[in-house]
Amino acid sequence: MPRPRILATGFSAFPGARRNPTEMLIGGLDIRCLARRLDIDLATTILPTEYRAVDDLLPRLWADIRPDAVVHFGLHGRAGRVRVEERAANYIRTTPDAAGRRPDRIAIEPGGPLYRSARIPVTRLVTALKRDRLAATASNDAGGYLCNYALYRSLERAGPGAIVGFVHVPWPAEERAPNAPARRPSLADLAVAVECTLRTAAMAVRNG
């Protein structure tokens, strides 16, 4: 069987997060080393936290890479643990994106399903994260911002059998962040969470 092709994305900064930890986590990956260790073909990119950019980039990434699995990572500023999202909602808040643009509608896909279910094995991933001594939980609310938007769009585009998931990470303990819980994982812990997620996605591809 060919090695699973996996795309991992983080997000750039946005209003309220001048530095996005997922940009550091995904941008700082040693792709060659990690791909060899997990026996995968790995591609990474940082998505601008902008609706137009996501609409432009995601279709091209799916077409160019033809991934077996796509895992998006985003920041949840009020979380104290890693959150594995179970679904994306067909909903957009009117909050401006990083370019200052507000959505002109409240539905991502007018007439589309109210929810699209994530295709990554959520329970298995949460268990694996806990096995790696990380505080983790499943979540059924990916929000109404770019995180939820990217997940919905990827699920909308994914072909049969493709694995798609979204993992929200909290602010790392090293960062001073208003409204964030005092107890949070370190940046090193979150790097372990990224690798654990990619390993779980690869296993899901191999298991069909």
- Domain range list for the chain: 5-206
- Topology (CATH) of 5-206: Aminopeptidase (3.40.630)
* Residue of 23, 50, 85, 86 marked active site: 85
Is 147 catalytic? The answer is yes
Rounded distance, CA 185 to CA 191, Å? 10
- Specify burial of residue 207 (Cβ count, 10 A radius: 0-12, 13-18, 19+): exposed
**Sign of the C-alpha dihedral computed for residues 163, 97, 61 and 149 taken in this order:** positive
117: which 2 tokens? 């279910």
Instruction: Compute the average pLDDT of residues 33-57.
Output: 97
* Residue of 23, 50, 168, 196 marked active site: 168
* Residue of 23, 50, 86, 147 marked active site: 147
pLDDT for 17 beyond 80: no
The structure's pTM equals 0.96
pLDDT, tens digit, for every residue of 94-147? Answer: 999 999 999 999 999 999 999 999 999 999 999 999 999 999 999 999 999 999
Is 168 catalytic? The answer is yes
Residue 90 has a pLDDT of 98
Rounded distance, CA 71 to CA 9, Å? 7
